Amino acid sequence: MIKIAICDDEPKFVGTVQTYLETIAEDYHYEMDIQTYFSGETLINDYQTGEKFDLIYLDIEMQKMDGIETAKWIRNNDYYVLIVYISSHDEYLRQLFEAEPFRFIQKPVNFDSFLSVFSQAQKRISQQQNNFYCFKFGKNIIKVLCRDILYFESAGRKVIVHTLHKEYAYYDKLNNIEEQLKDSRFIRIHKAYLVNIDNIEAFQYERVALTDGTILNISEKNRPYIRNEFWKYFKGGK
């Protein structure tokens, strides 16, 4: 089940997006729960009562609270929801990154481009819901959602797994973990750090800031590669 919100102050456009989603659900056999909103305030009101979504289609230009302010509030309260901005203008692009959007769609929206973005979002949601990393911790096997991992840190003969909730230290090599996760969203920024790119909040040429406030240095030799990967990520290349 994919929980989706559409938020736009134009009822006709909301209807178009809803029709696109219902067509995709029927053609590709997806289960969807679609909620519609005509203002940022009503969307936030539902969030405050405990509602959560996997994917939000959010217009930028709305009355009172615009899409950018709405997205900032949502991101502060829900790190994992995918936000797809929709607008007829692209001059907002610099401001949009503050809420870490998944994609930007320009109006008018055609079905093929909408389907392409949805397919990418569905793949990410599926990964978030089903992707685990397992390791031996003492006598136990620990299973952690990959999306909850901030980064792996090499510490002598051990590796420390830093997650959103706690830390684990166990015997392994960072090179082994990097190989296990080579097809996922983890990038090696330093000989001592393997970082979940989904949990990078800000990027500077010499360092990254993670969602929990941790600052990690990028090794000099890795800086061009990390910069390219980071921008490729935000432009939809991963």
Domain layout of the chain by residue ranges: 2-129, 132-234
The DSSP bridge partners found for residue 7 are 37, 58
CATH of 132-234, one of 3.40.190.10, 2.40.50.1020, 3.40.47.40, 3.10.20.30: 2.40.50.1020
Q: For residue 3, what pLDDT is reported?
A: 92
The pair of structure tokens assigned to 168 is 């684990």
Q: 2-129 domain in CATH 3.40.50.2300?
A: yes
How far is residue 85's CA from residue 101's CA, in Å, rounded to a whole number?
Answer: 7
Identify the pLDDT of residue 152.
97
- pLDDT at position 184: 66
Question: Cα–Cα distance between 20 and 66 in angstroms, integer?
Answer: 24
One digit per residue, pLDDT tens: the chain, 238 residues?
899 999 999 999 999 999 999 999 999 999 999 999 999 999 999 999 888 899 999 998 888 888 889 999 998 888 789 999 988 766 555 555 666 788 988 888 999 999 999 999 998 888 777 678 888 888 888 888 888 899 999 999 999 999 988 999 999 999 999 988 876 689 999 999 999 988 888 888 899 999 889 999 999 988 888 888 777 766 554 4
Give the DSSP letter string of 124-187: HHHHHHH-EEEEEETTEEEEEEGGGEEEEEEETTEEEEEESS-EEEEE--HHHHHHHTTTTTEE
